[in-house]
Structure 1
Amino acid sequence: MQREQVKTGGCLCGAVRYEIDGPLRDIISCHCGQCQKTSGHYFAATATPKEHFHLTKDEGLKWYSSSGYAERGFCSECGSSLFWRMKDGSHQSILAGSLDGDTGLKTSHHIFVADKKDYYDIADGIPQYDTYPEDLKSG
């Protein structure tokens, strides 16, 4: 994890805004079918401990229950995909593209690569997994 000063982010129209005042995990790129449908490609997400994440504006925020254990946060005004979280509150990911400005983060892993589409290759030399590895679940 990387420690930064306060980072901000939000949706395209500004109806959802947030601040992060703590460390950010490097990016994990998820190539699963649900992330493809939600984002139009694959998800690139970071995370921070929940005590460091603060919504500052949530007028447009809606949550979609995408499985029995997780839900996805998006702006109901502009349609921006913003978050993925466990329903039990144990984890929340933040889509990296929703952060304002440069992040200083790097992609560390690709997950669910067996589900990736055929129109692109993953050739960046970063570790790839067909599932979500146990050693990543703590981050």
Structure 2
Amino acid sequence: MTNGSCLCGAVRFTITGPLRPVIACHCSQCRKTSGHHVAATSTHRDHITVEGAVTWFQSSDTARRGFCGICGSNLFWDGTGENLSIFAGSLDGASGLTIAGHIFCADKGDYYDIPEGVPQAEGYDPVLTTMVVD
């Protein structure tokens, strides 16, 4: 079981299933909403229980972003598919997760470098982003 929350604690969640490794997204939307790139894990929708009011922003035709309406913490990315993405920084305590790859590297900010040694995709990568956990 893994727990997480926003900064003020108004939104809390519990994950009862496995988590996907963390994927770093460097797209312009993730950079605008977070102030940097986003590092997110995911789990099957049936494995997460959320308590508190999540505010949703429809950021594209196919995805929305969930955050706390009180403190503004970015918590979720919700697109099509069986999994819900969870911002790794919102997890409580040590997660044991590692970054397994980077997507939308062509859009990354010019003020940082992406470390070598993990897969990098110029844009969307279905293999990295749809690692379905059992």
TM-score by length of 1: 0.90
Q: Is the 8 A contact 2:8 2:70 kept in 1?
A: yes
Query: How much does 1:125 deviate?
Result: 1.5
Q: How does 1:36-51 map to 2 (within 5 A)?
A: 36-51=31-46
Task: Kindly provide the amino acid, as one letter, of the partner of residue 129 in structure 1.
Answer: A
Is the partner of 2:55 in helix, strand or coil?
strand
**Separation (CA, whole Å) in 1 of partners of 2:111 and 2:98:** 23
| Residue 24 to residue 100, structure 1, CA distance change in 2 (3 Å) | same
Identity of aligned residues (%): 53
Q: Deviations over 1:23-48 (max 9, x none)?
A: 00000000000000000000000001
**Separation (CA, whole Å) in 1 of partners of 2:36 and 2:117:** 19
Q: Is the 8 A contact 2:23 2:128 kept in 1?
A: no
Could you say which structure has the greater relative contact order, defined with CA pairs below 8 angstroms and 6 or more residues apart? 2
**Separation (CA, whole Å) in 1 of partners of 2:82 and 2:46:** 12
Q: Hey, what does 2:18 align to over in structure 1?
A: 23
Q: Deviations over 1:55-101 (max 9, x none)?
A: 1x213x10000001100000010000000001x56431000000000
Range that drifts further, 118-127 or 32-41: 118-127
Runs of at least 5 residues in structure 1 that lack an aligned partner in the other structure = 1-5
Query: How much does 1:137 deviate?
Result: 4.3
Is the partner of 1:48 in helix, strand or coil?
strand
**Separation (CA, whole Å) in 2 of partners of 1:134 and 1:75:** 28
Residue in structure 2 matching 1:108, options 85, 100, 111 = 100
Deviation above 6 Å: which 4+ runs of structure 1? none
Runs of at least 5 residues in structure 2 that lack an aligned partner in the other structure = none
**Separation (CA, whole Å) in 1 of partners of 2:39 and 2:96:** 14
Q: Hey, what does 2:74 align to over in structure 1?
A: 81
Task: Kindly provide the amino acid, as one letter, of the partner of residue 14 in structure 2.
Answer: E
Q: Is the 8 A contact 2:101 2:128 kept in 1?
A: no
| 1:14 and 2:9 matched | yes
**Separation (CA, whole Å) in 1 of partners of 2:81 and 2:8:** 27
**Separation (CA, whole Å) in 1 of partners of 2:110 and 2:81:** 34
| Residue 101 to residue 34, structure 1, CA distance change in 2 (3 Å) | same
Q: Is the 8 A contact 2:21 2:100 kept in 1?
A: yes
